[in-house]
Structure 1
Amino acid sequence: MNLAASLLHTILVHMKLSIARPMFKFIIWISPLFYSTLAIFIYGKDSTETLFHYVVLGSGFMALWSSIVFSSASDVNRERFYGTLEIIFISPVPFAVTLIGKIIANTLWGLISMILSFVYLKFVFQLDLVFYHPWVFLTALLFVLLSLAVFSFFLALAFTLSRQAEALMNFIEYPIYLICGFLFPISYLPAWVQGISYVLPPTWAIQLLRDVTTETLSSQTVLFSFTALVSLTVLYIFIGVYFYRLMDKKARFHGKLGVY
């Protein structure tokens, strides 16, 4: 119960702290509008289904990913800059719980940003938001958010030990848009890049959402994307646990976790 209360408190406090920063406000409220406008310029004359898959879902996922990667890198780096990272690390509440709370908070903000993108496209560009299977979509979305949170936890652990967290954040944010096929099918990419795409959860996350928002729902296709997403999520959970133990051991041995 104490850990649950600590997790909930971390989520609430971090949501307030995050949205108080001007840069984060831009990521949540403004950047989705740019992503949506860019996507509609690219696909403006295509079919309704293509518009929904690559404009609505694509731009919404870009907004969601920006918030998630922000939680993976910037928040850890900020705690280090403020001199509070070591204090959080040795506090009675496990560092993993605090980190998960931050990730959940920014994932929730990312979901709000994604919804804002939907609303913007609906009322400004008059796009049809047709959810043929709404309950299936909502169920898939829950698994997608869980998978992205796990992937974010894995990234955050890598960034915790790095002194170049901001550079890494900027390095991976936009390539993920391309490699994972947010705005176009990954089949357009070279074969060796597609291999990278298939081991990244965001690729299967957005593919699953596209599969469940087609008019003729194919259970075989949905099951394949869902299985791939769940399998990668479980894999990254094991990798995350291993990285957490490795990071904990290294941080305690060297005692330089807070060195900026």
Structure 2
Amino acid sequence: MASMLSRLIIFPTPPSMIVPVMSVVSLVAIAGLGVSEILGKHLQYSKFWNLNSAKSSRKQIQLSSRTGMLVLYVPAFLSGVASFVLYPNHDLRLFLVKATLTIHFFKRVIEVLCVHKYSTSGVVLDSAILISSSYFSATSTMIYGQYLTQGFPEPQLDLKYPGILLFMLGTFGNFYHHQVLASLRTNDDKEYKIPKGGLFDLVICPHYLFEVLGFIGIFFISQTLYSFCFTLGTIVYLIGRSYATRRWYLSKFEDFPKDVKALIPFVF
């Protein structure tokens, strides 16, 4: 049954061991971070920067929020740009994978520079390196894995066009809700507030919800084992992150509306 499903929606696995190994590593590592978020062990950036630091006596290097976020996203963006030189060809699916990943991280860099407004929190260097390495290796491996499928029989079910629509929906929805978050603060306002507007009236992390849709779109375009594992791991991580975010708001704001869910309207 699993083999039939994989032939239906996923390319055959290339003979190289790199992609299968990285697929398992990516899924376990990223999903593990999501479970850690639920258990209260957070990657230390944004509002969660100080939650674990009091429990550790080790001196931690803190980056400013803007610098830390650039460290997170610029390497993955450059990997996407470089892929157009490293893997030049006319295959539509490979081009779309390169384009969507590059656009995704370019958008993030632009948001860091032009959209986000930052609190007094920062980004711990250890967390920045971990997340940045994950994004860089994921981008590089996903594109390389797609390149290795050249000449392989296509999956029976072609999902790349629905994938383009999902990616666009996820990208615009994520960007819109980041703008809503930014609008909550003036330039001198560093405090957190309960978000309002858009889907924030239903879930506390609609930007994560649309990020999930964007990555599902990339998987639909790619249809490789690695993109499936990375997307699944990312979904688990964002479930954990949104759960922790809702818990944080409940602890900080007595008037936080209890009917606002974490990630999925009316469900979770």
Common fold: TM-score over 0.5: no
- TM value normalised by structure 1: 0.30
Structure with the bigger percentage of helix: 1
- TM value normalised by structure 2: 0.29
